[in-house]
Amino acid sequence: GEERLEEAVRSAALEAGTAATQVHFGCDFHMIGDDAAGVCRRLREEGLRVELMNPPLPRFTDESSSDWWKTVLTPACPPPESREPFAVNLAGLAWPDDPCLAELSGLLGQFGVSVRARFFPGGDGMRDHARAAVTVASPWTPVARVLSPLLGERGFATIAPPAPYGPRGTQAWLEAVLAAVGAAAPDPGACEAWIHEAFPQWRSLREAAGDFTVALVADFGTAGEMCGPAFFFGLDPTAFLLDLGFRVHVLGPGAAAARAGLPALPPEWLERLSATELALEEDPLEAVAGLGLRLVYCDALLTLPLKERGLTPWSIDDLHPGLGGAEKSLRRLLSLARRRLYSDFGGHLKSPGGTGP
């Protein structure tokens, strides 16, 4: 229970000294009933650096005062004159120590904008978050439904542009943030120029990606929902994959409408984008196999059925924000696209309950 948790965390925090102690949970503690957030809060009040690393998502929480983020966000709005006009918070984009946040902070710094706090998940410099003029949040639903209302109730301004994935996505995100604080906009194509300078192999890697097609398969809901930032972890996956140089094929109910509803993209990108409309009752994997697609994202299916059919699954874990993240994502997806493991041996795998090895 809570007493054993408090004793264990206090012991670990005292041993850690000035380093932060992170508390993680396997099964969700909201379902058990223990006030794990309260335990961590009490230990922080004792002066110990304790962080609860799985903040509540909407499906597990109500609007009670015990919600974890309500305990760390400033309960009252400070006077406007105490805020820094060219300071922002970054929320819901990545863990505070992720290199992409340092990169994004550096890009903003080139235009005179400082980052006061980076949080959700985790927290970095939370005591300074009230000094920022604007909190830049991810538009992903679990972030938007938790943070935006809480910040709004306290009088803090928030914006939620699509997350900065790829040169084009990072450029659009940077422009939105700078516009929100009234700072000068970057030159058009600045992020494209920066990534070429930072990663000399970017052009050749992107050209290599043109030989492969990445499939986005909606087997739960519609293709339009799957490809939207509110569902897909805050980013537009179609635009990002096209920015990386891949051909992209969208499959599922509403795929044609999803393709037509994309924001304005370069004409040469649209030439690499195709769509296959599926009825709700159709098996998406049959359609994928029939089209000869191999590198597949599905939004609901487990990966084993894909591997059994010789398909190579990919996930959000293979995608990374920022310019350095774009290069990392491109290398990762190219590695998966060239992998022959499942196409050669996937037929020997069996789902649980099967008769194979």
3-state secondary structure 140-193: CHHHHCCHHHHHHHCCCEEECCCCCEHHHHHHHHHHHHHHHHCCCCCCCCHHHH
Q: Of 331 and 66, which is predicted with more confidence? A: 331
- 114: Cα separation from own chain's centroid: 22
| Amino acid, res. 298 | C
Averaged over 273-290, what is the pLDDT?
85
Is pLDDT above 90 for 71? Answer: no
pLDDT at 158: 92
Averaged over 140-148, what is the pLDDT?
82
pLDDT at 62: 38
Averaged over 138-144, what is the pLDDT?
86
Backbone angles phi, psi at 43, to 5 degrees: -70, -35
Q: Rounded distance, CA 159 to CA 101, Å?
A: 17
Q: Pick from 37-46, 180-189, 308-317 the range whose average pLDDT is largest.
A: 180-189
What does the block give as tokens for 152? 């709004």
Q: Rounded distance, CA 313 to CA 311, Å?
A: 6
Is pLDDT above 90 for 273? Answer: yes
| Amino acid, res. 296 | V
- Tell me whether strands 123-124 and 50-52 are parallel, antiparallel or unpaired: unpaired
Q: Do residues 312 and 295 lie in contact, with contact meaning Cβ atoms separated by under 8 Å?
A: yes
* Mean pLDDT of all residues belonging to the chain: 83
Residue 136: pLDDT band (50, 70, 90) is very high
Is pLDDT above 60 for 300? Answer: no
Is pLDDT above 50 for 282? Answer: yes
pLDDT at 32: 52
Helix boundaries (H) for the chain: 2-16, 29-32, 36-45, 68-72, 99-109, 141-144, 147-153, 166-181, 190-198, 202-209, 223-226, 237-243, 255-260, 267-270, 284-290, 303-308, 322-338, 341-345
Q: Do residues 311 and 296 lie in contact, with contact meaning Cβ atoms separated by under 8 Å?
A: yes
Q: Rounded distance, CA 263 to CA 241, Å?
A: 14
> CA-CA distances (angstroms) from residue 65 to 29, 37, 62, 131?
17, 11, 9, 23
User: What 3-state class would DSSP assign to 200?
Assistant: coil
Cα dihedral: 163, 165, 167, 169 (round 10):
-40
Backbone angles phi, psi at 214, to 5 degrees: -105, 130
Q: DSSP secondary-structure letter at 79?
A: P
User: What 3-state class would DSSP assign to 86?
Assistant: strand
Residue 330: pLDDT band (50, 70, 90) is very high
The pLDDT > 70 percentage for the chain reads 82
Averaged over 320-331, what is the pLDDT?
96
Q: Of 337 and 82, which is predicted with more confidence? A: 337
Is pLDDT above 80 for 33? Answer: no
Instruction: Tell me the pLDDT tens digit for each residue of 153-197.
Output: 888 899 999 999 999 999 999 999 999 999 999 999 899 999 999
Residue 146: pLDDT band (50, 70, 90) is confident
Instruction: Tell me the pLDDT tens digit for each residue of 73-88.
Output: 766 566 767 789 999 9
pLDDT at 160: 94
Contacts with 162 (C-beta within 8 Å, 6 or more apart), sequence order: 139, 169, 172, 173, 229, 234, 235, 236
Is pLDDT above 80 for 212? Answer: yes
Scanning the structure block, which residue is given the tokens 């894909």? 306
Residue 31: pLDDT band (50, 70, 90) is very low
Scanning the structure block, which residue is given the tokens 């505070």? 96
Q: Rounded distance, CA 333 to CA 355, Å?
A: 32
Averaged over 51-69, what is the pLDDT?
47
Is pLDDT above 60 for 356? Answer: no
Is pLDDT above 60 for 315? Answer: yes
